[in-house]
Amino acid sequence: MRLRQILLLLLLALAVGAFVALDLGRFLSFEQLKASQASFAQLHAEQPLTVAAVYFLLYVAATALSIPGATIITLAGGAIFGLWQGLLIVSFASSVGATLAFLASRFVLRDWVEGKFGNRLADINAGVDKEGAFYLFTLRLIPVVPFFLINLLMGLTRMKVWTFYGVSQIGMLAGTAVFVNAGTQLAQLESVQGILSPALLGSFVLLGIFPLIARRIVAAVQKRKVYARWADQRPKTFDRNLIVIGGGAGGLVSAYIAAAVKAKVTLIEAHKMGGDCLNYGCVPSKALIKSAKLAQQMRHGSKYGLSDASPSFSFKAVMQRVHDVIAAIEPHDSIERYTGLGVEVLQGYGRLVNPWTVEVALNDGTTQRLTARSIVIAAGARPFVPPLPGLDDVGYVTSDTLWDEFAKLDEVPQRLVVLGGGPIGSELAQSFARLGSHVTQVEMGARIMVREDEEVSELAKVSLEADGVQVLTGHKALRCELVNGEKTLVVEHAGAEKRIVFDQLLCAVGRVARLQGYGLEDLGIPTHRTVQTNEYLQTIYPNIYAAGDVAGPFQFTHTAAHQAWYAAVNALFGEWKLFKADYSVIPWATFIDPEVARVGLNEQEAKEKNIPYEVTKYGIDDLDRAIADSETHGFVKVLTVPGKDKILGVTIVGAHAGDLLAEYVLAMKHGLGLNKILGTIHTYPTMSEANKYAAGEWKRAHAPQKLLAWAKKYHDFKRGV
């Protein structure tokens, strides 16, 4: 920090310090204002210009120094000068003072803040460049954030000074008028009974409802702005209440809710109902995992007092079972079921023509146009395929295509390379290794399952390696080669190249939202990896919503369904009440063996966010049921607020971890602490007792030692010792 910045900071600190030391705040009270009312009025009558000038400078100083009491000073302006003169003086004084505070914050703090948080500020500055003036105007018009904080925080951005001043001058005008008008009424008070005067009551009512009115005005202005180019295309009547694009978890739940409340709804799906989860993700992978786990248990029958046996099976039969499981669950998401629920289902590709019209290219070759008051985009996500040179030459499968491609094979792939160390890659790598493949898992990062704590990643790696997976972390895939019919992946590790020969290559490096082909770009709907929405899941068009993987930030079936509730309810009833999507308690699980399940914070996230926490850990190797089932690997780790039983997050590693997590999800959702879990009866012998014993570990660590010492003395006394 430069010398001039330090000097200015010292001057500001001295000014604020003098204000506190001299107790000048005593003059900024309603009682003092009333007591001085007559004196101010007389002084203003004798020297109007001097009083106005002094008042203006004092107001500027108070605002520039962010001294509390601006409300009283504003009321005083109305009391002394009346409505119009007071409004003129206060309006300019507040804007000038706010701009000085803005400049002081910029001069003293911005360089330091940018040096420390430059990467985070880059996105904020980009947003300020694009919509900063409107955002500032909204904050000025709706006093959600204290004005002095707005002044200081805006100074840290790249907003232009004249933009800040101009927007502040206009944005604060309406609110200033309300307060100055209230001041003119307060000036007329002669007794407590005067508070009941209609004029004063009207001023206070206006103060109360002003934020609501302002919010409506801002919403109307923003809505008019965004719909301006489509004004002549808005239908007078609508074919549907709701159109949903996408028949995965998000789309199905949105359509279901709309039909349940008797809205007219159309669901558009181009391919398979049920989306990724039913056809390519959750369902087939869990069916495969079950078969693979049974094969592994047969190999280790001696753990259960049986003979070890080499499983004999047909890989085609295993893959057929996967498809049979999909077929068994398919009716739950079928066209017939949703039609029976009252949903119109169209098979084809939906594309937005304008904010209310969707053009459907039906699978039979025809085209249909439908209008709706609201639209939900639930287009899902697809596997990301890295741009590796030679990848197309050697061929590859993804988590979407492997189920059909591998079903054609007579035997399990002998040499399988899995690109990616996330949940999908780890689940499939372990499963195919257990079915007999020689699996090499390649991860560019330092560890697999990087979103989990390091000890969890290490445990997962050890487990996969125990099942025969060669886990290569810190290996960057460079290219694929096809030489004399032999497929090879070339990777780099520690500066040296390494060649991995394979028969099949599985790309499992993540999934990306489906953003193209839906007309989003034609309507100007912003997308950056996902469709950008507000807290109500609205896009820039308040009647167009997004839910599920296409909206992010999570890519789970259960969060897609969770978001779909908010999207559907807001789309159908948002003109009366909008609900903010709640992401406070989001669980997830990775179904390797042992399973990894988590909700809330883990240790690495708590450290990154500088959130204080305590750790309580219970080893599942101590659990009776785990011992009986020979599943004695894993733990329950709970993060709590220091000194309290409030749960911040839970990580469970072990058999049925995904099921065990549900109790903690419920507890966190409803604000229940570890004491409540400890006081809940858990069936013996079950894995669920691990949750109770983890709570018991916390209780023992927080036992009141002084009280226990007195208890010991009491019992000694009772024994006559």
CATH of the domain at 651: 3.30.390.30
* Residue ranges making up the domain that contains 668: 594-705
Which tokens belong to 157?
């951005």
Q: What is the pLDDT of residue 198?
A: 59
Whether 7 is in a domain gets the answer yes
> Are residues 191 and 336 located together in one domain of the fold?
no
Q: What is the pLDDT of residue 119?
A: 55
Q: What is the pLDDT of residue 14?
A: 61
> Are residues 53 and 113 located together in one domain of the fold?
yes
Using the 3D structure, point to which of 492, 510, 528 is the last residue of a domain: 510
Mean pLDDT of 570-579: 93
> Are residues 68 and 171 located together in one domain of the fold?
yes
Whether 587 is in a domain gets the answer no
The three-state secondary structure class of 370 is strand
Whether 42 is in a domain gets the answer yes
| Cα Rg of the chain, angstroms | 33
Is the separation of the CB atoms in 469 and 439 below 8 Å?
A: yes
Distances in Å between the alpha carbon of 346 and those of 238, 265, 270, 358, 460? 17, 11, 8, 12, 43
pLDDT digits (tens, 9 = 90+) for 658-675: 999 999 999 999 999 999
Q: What is the pLDDT of residue 649?
A: 97
Mean pLDDT of 689-713: 93
Domain of residue 326, CATH code = 3.50.50.60
> Are residues 361 and 426 located together in one domain of the fold?
no
* Count: domains in the chain: 4
Q: How far is CA 110 from the centre of its chain?
A: 28
Rounded to 5°, angle at Cα 74 from 69 and 77: 130
Peptide bond before residue 68 is cis, with ω within 30 degrees of 0: no
CA distance 191 to 688: 67
Whether 365 is in a domain gets the answer yes
Q: What mean pLDDT is reported for the chain? A: 86
DSSP 340: H
Q: Which residue type does 522 have? A: D
Which tokens belong to 48?
């109007």
CA distance 102 to 508: 48
- Reported in sequence order, the residue ranges of 494-646 that DSSP labels E, i.e. its strands, are 496-502, 504-507, 511-513, 527-528, 530-531, 544-546, 587-590, 595-600, 614-619, 635-640
Q: What is the pLDDT of residue 108?
A: 72
pLDDT digits (tens, 9 = 90+) for 157-171: 878 888 888 888 877
74 pLDDT above the threshold of 60: yes
Q: What is the pLDDT of residue 545?
A: 97
The model's confidence at residue 214, banded by pLDDT at 50, 70 and 90, is low
Whether 584 is in a domain gets the answer no
CA distance 705 to 721: 21
| Segment of 49-58, 61-70, 317-326 carrying the highest mean pLDDT | 317-326
Whether 665 is in a domain gets the answer yes
> Are residues 313 and 375 located together in one domain of the fold?
yes
253 pLDDT above the threshold of 60: yes
User: Which of 686, 640, 692 is CA-nearest to residue 663?
Assistant: 692
> Are residues 14 and 139 located together in one domain of the fold?
yes
Determine what percent of the chain is predicted with pLDDT higher than 70: 82
> Are residues 30 and 158 located together in one domain of the fold?
yes
> Are residues 211 and 295 located together in one domain of the fold?
no
354 pLDDT above the threshold of 80: yes
The model's confidence at residue 12, banded by pLDDT at 50, 70 and 90, is low
